[in-house]
A and B are shown apart, each in its own frame.
Chain A
């Protein structure tokens, strides 16, 4: 089992719709969870961080965390073509290291 798993996609949604991106992780002790956006040929950019169970909203983005289910998700409301990118989930690993483990990313396509 991979430490952080994401569906590689592509996930295609029409403009204006809600895009839902999911991530599961294996380390029960993980405390910090992040979503990064990566445009093709560019470096990752942090868009959301979440540390506690529940929802965290920032503009059109909502991160959801369920530690019992080891699940973190990202919702993008009113999706725009400019949201088309790869979304990377990252989780800190607390088992005696300082690692952050990234998933392989989900490619999102927002269709105009």
Chain B
């Protein structure tokens, strides 16, 4: 596609509910990143994929967070047993060369 597509755009989850956030990167981009952005803060790194390989997951805040990219294209970020502190905008970015990020519009997650 022309850009990075993320869905849903908004998600309201009850505390304890599991959520799945989808990212469809630009076709041909081998690198895919997930970031978490809190209000008034810069994006915070969560995880990095090169094709289907998850090369770095050091930013995932707890074992409730899980990401996958099974065929090297679409990626899903899953959060189990959501907590209020998980409320944030989740940004996906893809890149042809790992450096220059093109971001999607993000998913705003609100945990109530």
Using CB atoms and an 8 Å cutoff, list the residues of chain A in contact with chain B: 4, 32, 34, 36, 42-46, 49, 88, 90, 92, 97-105
For A102, list chain B residues within 8 Å (CB): 35, 42-45
What distance in Å separates the Cβ of A88 from its nearest Cβ neighbour in chain B?
Answer: 5
Instruction: Please tell me if the beta carbons of B103 and A43 are within 8 angstroms of each other in the complex.
Output: yes
Q: A49-B99, A98-B48 are contacts. A43–B105 as well, Cβ < 8 Å?
A: yes
Q: A88-B43, A98-B48, A104-B41 are contacts. A43–B99 as well, Cβ < 8 Å?
A: no
Assess whether B1 is interfacial by the CB under 8 Å rule. Answer: no
Assess whether B2 is interfacial by the CB under 8 Å rule. Answer: no
For B15, list chain A residues within 8 Å (CB): none
A101 CA to B42 CA, complexed, in Å: 9
A104 CA to B110 CA, complexed, in Å: 21
Instruction: Please tell me if the beta carbons of B101 and A88 are within 8 angstroms of each other in the complex.
Output: no
Using CB atoms and an 8 Å cutoff, list the residues of chain B in contact with chain A: 33, 35, 40-45, 48, 55-56, 58-59, 91, 98-106
Instruction: Please tell me if the beta carbons of A45 and B41 are within 8 angstroms of each other in the complex.
Output: no
What distance in Å separates the Cβ of A112 from its nearest Cβ neighbour in chain B?
Answer: 25
What distance in Å separates the Cβ of A20 from its nearest Cβ neighbour in chain B?
Answer: 19
For A100, list chain B residues within 8 Å (CB): 33, 45, 101
From A92, which residue of chain B is reached at the shortest CB distance?
B99
A70 CA to B4 CA, complexed, in Å: 32
Instruction: Please tell me if the beta carbons of B102 and A46 are within 8 angstroms of each other in the complex.
Output: yes
From B45, which residue of chain A is reached at the shortest CB distance?
A99
What distance in Å separates the Cβ of B9 from its nearest Cβ neighbour in chain A?
Answer: 11
The residue among A44, A92, A105 with the most chain B CB atoms within 10 A of its own CB is A44
For B91, list chain A residues within 8 Å (CB): 43-44
For A4, list chain B residues within 8 Å (CB): 42
Instruction: Please tell me if the beta carbons of A88 and B42 are within 8 angstroms of each other in the complex.
Output: yes
What distance in Å separates the Cβ of A94 from its nearest Cβ neighbour in chain B?
Answer: 12
